Amino acid sequence: MATQMTASVTERRTTSLVRTAIALQTLTIFLQAVSAGLLLTTSYGELLHSVGARVMYGASMLYVLAASLAWKPGGGPVGPVLYACGFLVLASVQVVLGIAHVPAVHLPLGVLMFGLSVLALARR
């Protein structure tokens, strides 16, 4: 009985951690869209977008970590880990495209990433 309660508490904590990581990721991607608009209209927009890119990438790594913790020790499914890793790959491509100044692909990929992140948040 005590083992079942401990497992239930652990499962709730890891689920909450994953949900928080996805929410943070979704928020940072949304803020990247805002800072992209500022990039075009203000002198400090480039700095905000650059810092935001680092924060968004860190949020994607946190999502991978949270999904891994929910999977391995928590005994959860492996699907969210694969989804988080795929998202980290998309974030890596997004960073490379941003540094290379390829807005024709960078902008649509950002919109896709936001949509996928909202979808992952809604599924949790």
More confident residue, 17 or 52: 52
Distances 26 to 13, 74, 84, 113, 124 between C-alpha atoms, Å: 20, 24, 12, 9, 13
12-26, 68-82, 87-101: least confident range: 68-82
Q: How much is the average pLDDT of 89-117?
A: 96
Instruction: Parse the chain into domains and list their residue ranges.
Output: 2-123
**73 phi/psi in degrees, rounded to 5:** -70, -30
Mean pLDDT taken over the chain: 89
More confident residue, 111 or 73: 111
- Position 75: which residue type? G
Model pTM?
Answer: 0.86
Q: What is the pLDDT of residues 81-93, one digit of tens each?
A: 999 999 999 999 9
pLDDT of residue 78: 87
Instruction: For helices 45-71 and 2-41, give the axis angle rounded to 10 degrees.
Output: 160
Q: What is the pLDDT of residues 14-25, one digit of tens each?
A: 788 899 999 999
Q: What is the pLDDT of residues 24-47, one digit of tens each?
A: 999 999 999 999 999 989 999 999
Secondary structure (3-state) at 69: helix
